[in-house]
């Protein structure tokens, strides 16, 4: 017998590639614009001598900044190393029952990975054919629910009423609404927070605030839920967020004008790209995110949607343009195209037309 008998064997999540060199990177939903100039100031003026000391384990200043921005109390805010860390802690904290946790059959592919690594039973609930959410399917017995809204990789948003239906018909379990992309469209579940102790909303600074490299995520919940989450966090790693993160996160939230400016640019580029893709006969739902999830009929004799998507993905990559392709049932006919700068998207469209 070797030590391997006791090893937790898992199939990890596969992040999008991070190629070096001069490529057009439309594969990981990063922001095409740099973070606020205040982030640069915060990093440049960091007292590096103070790095000898542990960071504030409570992340108090960042928490207060976020709470203030959203009109919440500090006790309603939790922070972590990207929304992945926050979601991972949520799974560990709130999904400790025996009934399966529910999430859509097409959604962020990390949910089943977290369920697996922590030994949480789960069940995938079908989306409608148009990728929309059917709340009536969330009335079955369950140990918790996770909904990405807007959903990834589909880009589709659910109405607040749909979210409210799911939250209020499941008072006995925690409902986590992953709003990683909410700044680009859709309705936030924040107005539901006061009335629902079983609601947690997860956010990130990686996308709309252009800080993927800093790893900052956060969650909103009622005070008791945030306390449970903090208890688990302090049972895993007391000091998850380092000093530069705490400062950069605060600086990014402070600069609301800059945030609105780059968010609006991404949205207007997205709408322009939608039009272009429609002209090329791509099909996609109404993307509310910083990416578009699009399919296209085969253009060669006998070519399927999946064949087309796979071929275009490879051809784009050969030409230094990275989009995301998921070779998985239900979504293997789609390309997920992150929204870059106007210039990048013009080049993307040019190359796409050339390939097609």
C-beta closer to a second copy: residue 3 or 275: 3
Q: Which is nearer to a second copy, 177 or 225 (CB)?
A: 225
CA end-to-end span of the chain, whole Å?
A: 56
- Residue spans of beta strands (DSSP E) within the chain: 24-25, 77-80, 101-104, 122-125, 144-148, 175-178, 199-204, 217-221, 291-295, 321-322, 334-338
Q: How far is the CB of 8 from a second copy (least distance, A)?
A: 4
Q: Which two tokens stand for residue 146?
A: 């996770």
Give whichever of 4 and 129 is closer to a second copy, judged by the CB atom. Answer: 4
Q: How far is the CB of 247 from a second copy (least distance, A)?
A: 10
Q: How far is the CB of 295 from a second copy (least distance, A)?
A: 26
Q: Residue 355 CB, nearest distance to a second copy (Å)?
A: 25
CA distance 302 to 159: 38
The span from the CA of 151 to the CA of 161, in Å, is 16
The 10 Å Cβ neighbour count of residue 90 is 27
**Minimum distance between the CB of residue 180 and a second copy, rounded to whole angstroms?**
13
Rg (CA), the chain: 21
Instruction: Rank residues 51 and 280 by Cβ distance to a second copy and give the closer one.
Output: 51
Q: How far apart are CB 14 and a second copy at their closest, in Å? A: 8
Bridging pattern class, strands 122-125 and 101-104: parallel
Cβ closer to a second copy: 47 or 130? 47
Q: Which is nearer to a second copy, 278 or 328 (CB)?
A: 328
Comparing CB distances to a second copy, the nearer of 289 and 296 is 289
The pair of structure tokens assigned to 302 is 């006998």
Range 110-148 burial, b when 16+ CB lie within 10 A, else e: bbbbbbbbeebebeebebeeebbbebeebeeebbbbbbb
Measured from the CB of residue 332, what is the shortest distance to a second copy in angstroms? 22
Query: In this complex, which beta carbon is closest to a second copy, that of residue 255 or of residue 276?
Result: 255
Angle formed at CA 138 by CA 124 and CA 232, multiple of 5 degrees: 75
Which residues, including other chains, have CB under 8 Å from residue 134's CB and lie 6 or more apart?
125, 126, 127, 128
Nearer to a second copy (CB atom), residue 126 or residue 213: 213
In the complex, the smallest distance separating the C-beta of residue 344 from a second copy, rounded to whole angstroms, is 13
Instruction: Find the farthest-apart pair of alpha carbons in the chain and give their distance in angstroms, rounded.
Output: 65
Report the distance separating Cα 83 and Cα 212, nearest Å: 10
Q: How far is the CB of 289 from a second copy (least distance, A)?
A: 16
Q: CA–CA separation, 292 vs 289, rounded Å?
A: 7
């Amino acid at each position: 017998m070797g030590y391997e008998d006791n090893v937790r064997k898992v199939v990890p999540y596969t992040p999008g590639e991070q190629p070096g060199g001069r490529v057009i990177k439309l594969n990981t939903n990063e922001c095409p614009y740099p973070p606020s100039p205040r982030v640069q100031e915060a990093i440049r003026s960091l007292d590096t001598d103070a790095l000898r000391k542990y960071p504030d384990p409570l992340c108090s200043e960042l928490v207060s900044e976020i709470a203030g921005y959203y009109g919440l109390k500090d006790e309603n805010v939790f922070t972590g190393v990207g929304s992945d860390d926050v979601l991972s802690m949520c799974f560990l904290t709130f999904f400790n029952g025996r009934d399966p946790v529910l999430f859509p059959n097409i959604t962020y592919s990390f949910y089943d990975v977290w369920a697996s690594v922590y030994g949480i039973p789960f069940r995938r609930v079908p989306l409608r054919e148009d990728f929309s959410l059917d709340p009536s399917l969330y009335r079955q017995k369950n140990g918790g629910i996770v909904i990405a809204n807007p959903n990834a990789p589909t880009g589709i948003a659910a109405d607040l009423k749909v979210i409210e239906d799911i939250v209020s018909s499941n008072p006995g379990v925690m409902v986590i609404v992953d709003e990683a992309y909410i700044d680009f469209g859709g309705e936030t579940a924040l107005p539901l927070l006061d009335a629902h102790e079983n609601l947690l909303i997860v956010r990130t600074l990686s996308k709309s605030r252009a800080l993927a490299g800093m790893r900052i995520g956060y969650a909103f919940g009622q005070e008791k839920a945030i306390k449970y989450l903090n208890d688990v966090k302090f049972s895993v790693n007391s000091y998850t967020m380092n000093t530069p993160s705490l400062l950069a996160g605060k600086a990014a939230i402070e600069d609301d004008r800059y945030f609105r400016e780059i968010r609006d640019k991404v949205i207007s580029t997205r709408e322009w790209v939608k039009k272009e893709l429609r002209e090329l006969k791509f099909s996609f739902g109404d993307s509310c995110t910083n990416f578009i999830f699009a399919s296209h009929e085969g253009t060669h004799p006998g070519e399927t949607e999946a064949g087309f998507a796979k071929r275009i993905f490879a051809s784009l990559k050969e030409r230094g343009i990275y989009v995301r392709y998921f070779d998985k049932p239900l979504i293997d006919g789609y390309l997920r195209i992150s929204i870059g700068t106007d210039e990048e998207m013009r080049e993307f469209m040019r190359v796409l037309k050339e390939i097609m």
